Structure 1
Amino acid sequence: MAVSFSPLHFKPSFCFSASPLPKFSCSIRPAVILPGLGNNSGDYDKLRLILQKRYGVPSVVVKVSRIDWLRNAAGLLDPNYWRGTLRPRPVLDWYLNKTDEAIQEAKELAQGEALSLIGHSAGGWLARVYMEEFGISHISMLLTLGTPHLPPPKHLPGVIDQTRGLLNYVDKYCSKPGYNPELKYVCIAGRYIQGARLFSYSDANTIPAAASITNNQPAPELTIANTPTFRARFVGQGYKQVCGESEVWGDGVVPEVSAHLEGAINVSFDGVYHSPVGSDDELRPWVKVGEASFG
């Protein structure tokens, strides 16, 4: 199915924490790219090429295939999955080990210098888990693209934690921005579409208006200017599962509010959609966002 995207304006909005920003070296750091859920390494070839040719940033993509993600089904055997208290390990050890292999490869390119991590979607919070478990001595920046950092609110009707507790673990146990002044956090969110409630107040008002029409009265012209589209309602239900709210802006999958972290350098780009699994290069807007982040 073809998907069309609105043009990227590259007029980002920035949100900085009140604390002073740390100082960083201007030397070029090799980058390790962590794929998002369902993506494979090849989805990030163009981003890797742009970073190298245009900015001189060598990068290594964590070697992940689409079928690898089926390993997560092992979590179904863990009672914590059904309780909603699942932990990243051992279910996601396969991803963390592959990340470590990519980082060891990148460290050879770095020749003693620090590395940057670029996490797309779930790859962003998986990068945080990696840093918590494997250490951060060789990492100086984490850049996340459309990553749902915050867990969904508990005990909210109609909201089910899709991660079965994983994001609660990340939020509770993984270090926040500012914990280490030598580690820079940059969180990028997309503003592609605003969600809507499944049933809005305007919908209720249209029913009695239509019922009041009689055979002796001309039918009034009905306006749907303020009626949310089916797509906005559908997207809104997805947003609700992530942040508890449906009428918010986001990239079509992850709400803007969930993709930002307190204390990080938070940036929002207009017209950026959450890259669909298997999209071709023309329909992968995060490539351009990643490019802009290093430009």
Structure 2
Amino acid sequence: MPLPTVILPGYLAGAIDYRRLQQQLTEAGYPTVIVPLLKRDWVPTLGGRSMLPILERLHETVTQVLQDYNAPQINLIGHSAGGWISRIYLGEHLYDVHGVQANRTYTWNARSWVSHLITLGTPHTSFERWTRTNLDFVNLTYPGAFYADVNYVCVAGKAIYGERRPGSWLAYSSYQLTCGKGNCWGDGICPIESAHLAGAENLTLEQVRHSPRSGGLWYGSLEVVPQWMSYLA
């Protein structure tokens, strides 16, 4: 039987946005649970602050899933920011860039519980000042597909070319903030080169946009999921 799967939503997204993806994976034989976040759960993280509240909810969910399924490991899917937050969760180094409070956990060393980390449209790099503190910690501490005992699968979408013209301006601006240049391909929010990691299994999917609210196909669309789902096997 495949390992159970946990989905960590993207920034400012709630679990409700991933219900169809959860259902599709479960019906395909991959039992799936979503970290039960509401949009308001992200409020304490605004302005580049600590992702500790999200990491704590992720850990609670993973612990419960391991117990409920009596499983030795899980597969972890992180959409958008959920991908790089998951990279923090895997590691053994203290996540202390925002300071440390007594009686709270700042390292989880969760890689022994995670078989595959699949990131969907994750901006693994950023030039935006609000996210640099967190992402610099991730990329300096755990560069690339850092742990050899974790299978990293990084999925990018190729749907919109960033240009300074109507219809492509948002993509251009987002790509520029993420990878330093706007004239490139991506999913409308995350450029391809930022969605991939050195040493990972890197996939690029045609006509796939960033989120379920982007319009058209996204990573969790019925037609798209089979293109990366096999890595959960």
Match of 2:30 among 53, 57, 60: 57
Measured after TM superposition, the shift of residue 263 of structure 1 is 0.2
- Which residue number corresponds to residue 210 of structure 1? none
Q: Residue 176 of structure 1: which of 140, 144, 150 is its match?
A: 144
Q: Does 1:44 align with 2:15?
A: no
Q: What's the CA shift for 1:176?
A: 3.3
Stretches of structure 2 lacking an aligned partner (at least 5 in a row): 92-106
Measured in 2, the distance between the counterparts of 1:48 and 1:134 equals 25
1:98 is aligned to 57
1:150 partnered with 2:125: yes
1:247 aligns with 2:183: yes
Contact 1:30/1:109, CA 8 A, preserved across alignment: no
How far is the alpha carbon of 1:60 from its aligned partner? 1.3
Whole-angstrom distance in 2 between the partners of 1:139 and 1:258: 22
Higher relative contact order (CA 8 A, sep 6+): 1
2:228 is aligned with 1:293: yes
* Aligned twin of 1:267: 203
Counterparts of 1:291 and 1:127, CA distance in 2:
22
With over 3 angstroms needed to count, the CA separation of the structure-2 counterparts of 1:164 and 1:176, relative to structure 1, is closer
Contact between 1:118 and 1:144, CA under 8 Å: does it hold in 2? yes
Q: Distance in 1 between matches of 2:206 and 2:194?
A: 16
Query: What amino acid sits opposite 1:195 in the alignment?
Result: G
AA at the equivalent of 2:77: I
| Residues 11-30 of structure 1 mapped to structure 2, 5 A cutoff | 27-30=1-4
Equivalent pairs, count: 212
TM value normalised by structure 1: 0.67
Cα distance in 2 for partners of 1:286, 1:31 equals 16
Find the aligned partners of 2:216 and 2:60 in 1 and give their Cα distance.
29
2: CA distance between counterparts of 1:97 and 1:183? 21
Query: CA distance change for structure 1 residues 243 and 97 in 2, over 3 Å: closer, same or farther?
Result: same
Q: Is the 8 A contact 1:275 1:283 kept in 2?
A: no
- The superposition leaves residues 157-213 of structure 1 with CA deviations (integer Å, 9 ceiling, x where unpaired) of xxx434142111110113531x433210000000011012x4xxxxxxxxxxxxxxx
Deviation at 1:270, TM superposition (A): 0.6
Match of 1:71 among 16, 36, 44: 44
The corresponding residue for 1:131 is 90
* Partner in structure 2 of residue 34 of structure 1: 8
8 Å contact 1:162–1:241 — kept in the other structure?
Answer: no
Shift of 1:126: 0.5
The TM-score with structure 2 as length reference comes to: 0.84
Does the aligned pair in 2 maintain the 1:188–1:269 contact within 8 Å? yes
Matched, 1:257 2:224: no
1:238 to 174, 177, 200: 174
Given that 1:59 and 1:106 are in contact with CA atoms closer than 8 Å, whether structure 2 keeps it comes out as no
Structure 2 equivalent of residue 213 of structure 1: none
Give the AA of the match of 2:185. W
Gaps of 5+ in 1: 1-26, 153-159, 199-228
Q: Aligned Cα RMSD in Å?
A: 2.0
Partner of 1:188: 155
Report the CA distance between 1:258 and its aligned residue: 0.2
Q: Is the 8 A contact 1:238 1:253 kept in 2?
A: yes
Aligned amino acid, residue 150 of structure 1:
T
Q: How many Å separate the matches in 2 of 1:61 and 1:173?
A: 27
